[in-house]
Structure 1
Amino acid sequence: MAVRLDPYEEAKKQLEVTASILGLSKEVYDMLATPERIVQVKIPVVMRDGSVKVFIGWRVQHNSALGPYKGGVRYSPETNLSEVMALAMWMTWKNSLAGLPYGGAKGGIQVDPFQLNQYELMQLSKNYFSAISPFVGVDLDIPAPDVNTNPQTMAWFLDAYESRTGLKQLGVVTGKPLELGGLETRIYSTGLGVATVAQAAAKKLWGGIEGRTVAIQGFGNVGYYTAKFLKEMGAKVVAISDIKGGIYNSKGFDPDAVREYITKKGSGFVIDYPDVERKITNDELLTSNVDILVPAAVENVINASNANNVKAKLIVEGANGPTSPEAEQILVKKQVVIVPDILANSGGVVMSHIEWVNNRMGGWITEEEAKNKLMQKMTDNFNAVWNYWEQKLGGLGGAYSMRTAAQAIAVDKVVRAMKLRGWI
């Protein structure tokens, strides 16, 4: 079960460790920990009964040393300013580590989107983006989908921006529908990226991923496509869960069949799938006897209360911040390899960059070329982090996780850019 910690405080704890490794001063740490801009907006929506309800939204722009801000927008009743600030910081490290010419940002609206109809969602989306439009732009800040947002949401964002500014700039958001300059590859890019680095890590640990058992917590877009691509790579997905609970089958699942069942049922959940050996809770999934664990749901699901019971030897973080710092210390001592979120789930933003460039150049890449570029980029980034971890931090059996290696590479690059600009 997820423990509700303060996400921004957790992000700063991670940064403190990295700052210590890099020998950064307190002044540099403070600059890195503090967002450059926080925008809060009120979003009025005319509800179906004629009443007007006001929602609160945020856009946090963390650091722009490497380029324009980049990061998604999530719709969730659980989101808050602290979470958005943490996610914006993680986006800075993610973009830096991926070698992209972006800084980090994140957006969020405190809303349960499933309680709104399509017209209400359209109002919410357009009014939010209209309100933040002075602070975004193709060379300033480029939002994208995140939790509970999708290509349709991005189409509404784009239309609101163009209506407000009078500019025709497809590249102001990424993750758009194909008709508005999007790429089909973007839909599955995060899941493909997670699967690609899982395959690379399995090769380091076991010589390959074929036959390795996998448990995936979260069966949304990221979880489904991760499961799909891992199965294609030869792994066996034996456990899957979502918000209602999970299922286990030692023979493995066909992710397409599970998704098709849920879709046909309408508002169905993984736990309703009939072809199972047993139903399990999310807590049981996290501690199941598998080789690879992919937390692809929410923050802090692996924490001090359950880390000692984790049996997987490889954790690949499909979600943002699913492992608390306390849990990570426990897992490092157990010699569990953790491929951190800023590396593992960066496939979405890598593909967003390809889409952004494609929009600005008038269309230049095929879907197959985009897919191949993504997989090569993810593999190269994984190898760079693994080599730094082994050569400078002791690797497996050392005192630090791969997250520290990934953040050290990312933060060092941001700091060097800040120094060149004369900020520090």
Structure 2
Amino acid sequence: MTAPWMSLVWTDHVTGRRAFLVVDRLVRGVASGGLRMRPGCTLEEVTGLARGMTMKEALHYRPGSRYIPLGGAKGGIDCDPRDPAAYGLLVRYLRAVRPYIETLWTTGEDLGLSQETVDRAAAEVGLVSSVQAVYPLLDDEAAARGRLADAFAVEVDGIGLDELAGGCGVAESVLAALDRAAVPYAGTRVAVQGLGTMGGATARFLVRAGLTVVAVADIKGTIANPAGLDVEALLAARDGHGTVDRRVLRPDDLELPGDAWLSTEAEVLVPAAVSYAIDSLNQGEIGARWIVEAANMPVVPEAEELLAARGVTVLPDVVVNSGTNAWWWWTLFGDIGADAEEAFAYIRRSMRALVGLTLDRASADRTSPRVAAHALAADRLPLIAERFGWYR
């Protein structure tokens, strides 16, 4: 495994907090990857996320598409996003890394940060956009920027298309796995950790497909109901960090400890919040058949080995949550327009095909879906390099 192209550690002169930027690889001089903010964020974590972004980009390479995959990168800030000092820290970080955003790093929302917050801070430090580094690669910058702005203005039943795109991809990954195993949607139970952008949208799409969400977890704990939760009511009662106002709960909804989602009686678990949520100790509580990684790196490697030995399939983050990043580029480069139904149809086709390829490769190689996804990415990276070059 090669070292990242660039690794940067920044210390804030006001708070003393650290933040990071890792560029794993450049393709055509540009890398893509979001910016997260969470207490305890580390350079090792951001490095792993940047490598994952390289693979996500490669997995969506299609020679005939307008969207040409970029390299992988990631930013991280060690701070609780609820801290009153968080926004000022974000602004100072963006000011410090502004030259990279202007020239080679396209970024956006990730864990702990909304796109609205990133955009507001980026404007404050004088950036044109958090993705401006990609503009020189566009055939018609004005049309592309207009298309993306129009897409961000689209709402579906009160939730923005930009928030729904990733969840649509996660949900389709779940449905593809169920179809492959000939498991009917009706009666299939799901537990979701995190009801923010990714987890909330995933829960909505799964319920609308006929599955039953029996538990969701946020920072206050787990909300559960074996008969099924009213997901739309929970989504409407979230704050900006995905925390549900408990006043909307029904009499038969249960309030349980934060880690109770792991042991909920469900066929599918969707960790959609923090990294390292499932470790070698708490994996023993899981009775689900599938874990579908909506978050980045939620299952540690040792836990995944133990889960596999028990017959639990982990669908990896580099496949499952790659729809968010891909939707941005499909829209910006012009593979799809600013239309929700067109976007959802494209995401569903793409994710179903990618999940199918991953599971086929895992079966053929007698390995895990994660190893299979990494192998698919490794096959595609040389093809991208041969056509466009890359910089390590």
* Residues 246 and 282, structure 1, Cα contact 8 Å, conserved in 2: yes
With over 3 angstroms needed to count, the CA separation of the structure-2 counterparts of 1:295 and 1:60, relative to structure 1, is: same
CA contact (8 A) 2:30 2:133 kept: no
In the aligned structure 2, how far is the partner of 1:80 from the partner of 1:270? 32
The structural deviation recorded for 1:203 is 0.7
Name the CA distance, whole Å, in 2 between partners of 1:369 and 1:309. Answer: 40
CA contact (8 A) 2:186 2:210 kept: yes
- Matching of residue 283 in structure 1 with residue 259 in structure 2: yes
Corresponding residue of 1:74: 36
Q: Does 1:403 align with 2:367?
A: no
Aligned partner of 2:174 in structure 1 is 198
Match of 2:106?
Answer: 142
Q: String of CA shifts for 1:343-390, please: whole Å, max 9, x gaps.
A: 1111211112124325xx9x9543332222222211111111111112
Preserved contact between residue 35 and residue 109 of structure 2 (Cα < 8 Å): yes
TM-score, structure 2 normalization: 0.83
CA contact (8 A) 1:191 1:223 kept: yes
User: Are 1:238 and 2:238 counterparts?
Assistant: no
Which runs of at least 4 in structure 1 moved beyond 6 Å after TM superposition?
167-170, 176-179
- Which residue is 1:129 aligned to? 94
- The letter of the residue matching 1:189 is A
1:95 aligns with 2:62: no
Asked whether 1:391 is paired with 2:368, we answer no
Against the structure 1 CA distance between its residues 182 and 114, is the aligned structure 2 distance closer, same or farther, given a 3 Å change threshold?
farther
Aligned-residue offset at 1:255: 1.0
Assess if the C-alpha contact under 8 Å between 2:32 and 2:74 holds in 1.
yes
Aligned residue runs from structure 1 range 162-177, under 5 A:
163=126, 171-172=132-133
Matched residue SS, 2:9: strand
Q: Are 1:296 and 2:272 matched, yes or no?
A: yes
**Is residue 2:26 matched to residue 1:64?**
yes
Deviations 1:57-109 (A, max 9, x none): 22110112576211000122221212111111111112212225111100012
Aligned residue in 2 for 1:38: 7
SS at match of 1:115: coil
Match of 1:49 in 2: none
- Letter matched to residue 406 of structure 1: A
Pairwise CA distance, 1:416: 5.4
Q: State the distance in 1 between where 2:278 and 2:350 align.
A: 28
CA distance in 1, matches of 2:291, 2:236: 27
* 1:152 aligns to 2:116 (yes or no): yes
Contact kept, 8 Å, 2:37 with 2:81, in 1: the verdict is yes
- 2:380 is matched with which residue? 413
Tell me how far apart the structure 2 counterparts of residues 294 and 422 of structure 1 sit (CA, whole Å).
34
Kindly state the Cα deviation for residue 198 of structure 1 after the two structures are TM-superposed.
Answer: 0.4
Rate the CA distance shift 1:254–1:268 in 2: closer, same or farther, 3 A: closer
Task: State whether residues 144 and 173 of structure 1, in contact with CA within 8 Å, keep that contact through their aligned partners in structure 2.
Answer: no
In structure 2, relative to structure 1, the CA distance for the partners of 1:201 and 1:270 (3 Å cut) is farther
In 1, distance between residues paired with 2:43 and 2:209? 39
Measured in 2, the distance between the counterparts of 1:66 and 1:379 equals 28
Tell me, yes or no, if the aligned pair for 2:331 and 2:337 is still in contact at 8 Å: no
Alpha carbons of structure 1 residues 256 and 263: separation in structure 2 relative to 1, 3 Å? farther
The aligned counterpart of 2:304 is 328
Indicate how the Cα distance of structure 1 residues 180 and 343 shifts in structure 2: closer, same or farther if over 3 A, else same.
Answer: same
Q: In the alignment, does 2:79 pair up with 1:111? A: yes
Shift of 1:294: 0.8
Secondary structure of the 1:74 match is strand
Q: Deviations over 1:140-160 (max 9, x none)?
A: 221111012112223235425
1:247: how far off?
Answer: 2.0
Q: Which moved more, 1:203-212 or 1:291-300?
A: 203-212
Following superposition, the deviation at residue 194 of structure 1 comes to 0.7
The alpha carbon displacement at 1:335 in A equals 1.7
Match of 1:372 in 2: 345
SS of aligned partner of 1:382: helix
Where structure 1 has 5 or more consecutive residues not aligned to the other structure, the ranges are 1-28, 45-51, 394-399
Deviation at 1:269, TM superposition (A): 5.1
Return the alpha-carbon distance in structure 1 between the equivalents of residues 245 and 223 of structure 2. Answer: 10
Deviation at 1:272, TM superposition (A): 7.8
Q: Aligned partners of 1:423 and 1:169: how far apart in 2?
A: 21
- Are the aligned partners of 2:290 and 2:312 in contact in 1 as well (CA < 8 Å)? yes
